[in-house]
Amino acid sequence: MISLIGLPGSGKSTVGRQLARRLQIPFYDSDRLIEERLGCSISEFFEREGEQRFRDIEAQVIDELTQQPQGVISTGGGAVMRGENRDHLHQRTRVVYLNSAPDELFRRLRHDKNRPLLQVPDPLARLRDLHCQRHPLYLETAHFSVDTGRPSVGKLVNMILMQIECDGQAASAGNPLNSST
Ligand code: S3P
């Protein structure tokens, strides 16, 4: 399993879908699955039940998805806030952090009304806060990171595929640091 983490707007769903297509494995978008389960949008649910109830359901869905035999999971940007999600993602999947600058995300999400956390008077300041708060958690959870600044989606997918292939080769060759010779 491969999972993608990063702030809202970093491209987790778009990159995840293409990555899964290239690898010919299933694609799971955790936010879409949560919405199917809730029978309403995440924004509506946030308003009605609050963020903590959403986080409980998100944790259940991540627990289930990370136990699938194969696939690519795109997670919601706040999934790393809970330790149990960080553990499940890190231990059960290869985690890729799509690292984006808050200014870049702001340009992409300026007109987006579907992200409840960004419906505030100063969304750029909010994105900067979220980045400060979460960047260390994304780094801690990820096996590797890619910067989303310049490359196209296709290039990002190639970079991730190369990294995964290198990981696979390193694993099958054994880790030289563990060798006793
Ligand atoms: C959230 C990000 C959203 C969604 C929810 C909470 C967050 O997903 O899970 O609105 O806390 O950053 P995206 O990262 O796909 O926007």
Any atom of ligand 1 within 6 Å of the Cβ of 115: yes
pLDDT at 174: 62
More confident residue, 170 or 5: 5
46-62 pLDDT, tens digit per residue, is 999 999 999 999 999 99
The stretch 27-37 carries a mean pLDDT of 97
Residue nearest to atom 2 of ligand 1 (CA): 77
Query: How confident is the prediction for the chain on average, in pLDDT?
Result: 93
For ligand 1, the distance from its centroid to the CA atom of residue 76, given in whole angstroms, is 4
- 114 pLDDT above the threshold of 90: no
B/e letters for 142-165, b = 16+ CB within 10 Å, e = fewer, are bbebbebeeeeeeebbebbeebbe
| pLDDT bucket at 167, cuts 50 / 70 / 90 | confident
The stretch 85-113 carries a mean pLDDT of 96
- 76 pLDDT above the threshold of 60: yes
For ligand 1, the distance from its centroid to the CA atom of residue 150, given in whole angstroms, is 23
* DSSP, res 77: T
Torsion angle, alpha carbons of 148, 95, 102, 109, to 10: 80
For ligand 1, the distance from its centroid to the CA atom of residue 171, given in whole angstroms, is 33
Q: 2-166 maps to which CATH number?
A: 3.40.50.300
For ligand 1, the distance from its centroid to the CA atom of residue 38, given in whole angstroms, is 15
Other beta carbons within 10 Å of 86: 20
Any atom of ligand 1 within 6 Å of the Cβ of 31: yes
The CA–CA distances, whole Å, from 144 to 59, 100, 155 equal 22, 14, 16
